[in-house]
Amino acid sequence: MERGEATYPGSKLKQQLEGFLSPALNNRVEYRAQGYRYLPDKPGVCYIMVDKKNILNMNDKTNAIRWYQTELEIKNDPDIQIPISNEDIEAIRKNTKGTVPEDRLIVMARSRKSTAHAKALLSAQVSLSKSNFIVVANKYLSTSIEESIESHDIVLNILALVDRRVGKKRVLNMAGQMKFKHPIVQYFYELRRSA
């Protein structure tokens, strides 16, 4: 090591993650070696940047990513369309013992599913604000891609989406499941899809 050369804890982790980065995103996505802990009150501290911009900053009002404050805000988001299956309607019909009109069953099923979705999204966002990137990144390195994509952990989702082991065809086939992910995960999905 040259004199005066800086080393940081996590630089090996940074190299490992960069080794898995999709070649199409090589000069666009960057993992920072410093400030790995997400701190909502410190806007300059972040661990994933896109095009030199701190993309995971919840407090940046110029950021195009939507960060939710409440479950109601998620439920009222017109961009979130929750599909209702016959099973969802049947579950409500069973709970109400068949005394509710069909159109009301659909409304109730959508509301129930929307509430569950809002809770999951807000919970994932809260977990992100408390997460330690080094811990999550190390978990990612020892977890299958499938588990990382299916996870409710935003960082695991993002790391999987930018991973070179996830091919273009597979990325395109994930469009349906990405509709239910947090807007930041959707952002990285679109970034990878368009790369």
Q: Which of 56, 91, 121 is the last residue of a domain?
A: 121
Query: Residue 34 pLDDT > 80, yes or no?
Result: no
- What digits encode the pLDDT tens for the residues 99-122? 889 899 999 999 999 999 999 999
Nearest partner of 146 among 162, 128, 166, 132, judged by Cα: 166
Q: Which of 121, 152, 186 is the last residue of a domain?
A: 121
Residue 5: inside a domain = no
Residue 3: inside a domain = no
State whether 137 and 189 are in the same domain. yes
Q: Which two tokens stand for residue 4?
A: 């005066």
Residue 63: inside a domain = yes
- What digits encode the pLDDT tens for the residues 3-32? 333 334 457 888 899 999 999 999 999 987
pLDDT band at 63; cut points 50, 70, 90: confident
State whether 58 and 38 are in the same domain. yes
Domain encompassing residue 85:
73-121
**pTM score, whole prediction:** 0.81
State whether 19 and 103 are in the same domain. no
How far, in Å, are 11, 17, 42, 46, 122 from residue 35 at the CA level? 12, 16, 10, 6, 24
* Whether 55 contacts 187, CB under 8 Å: yes
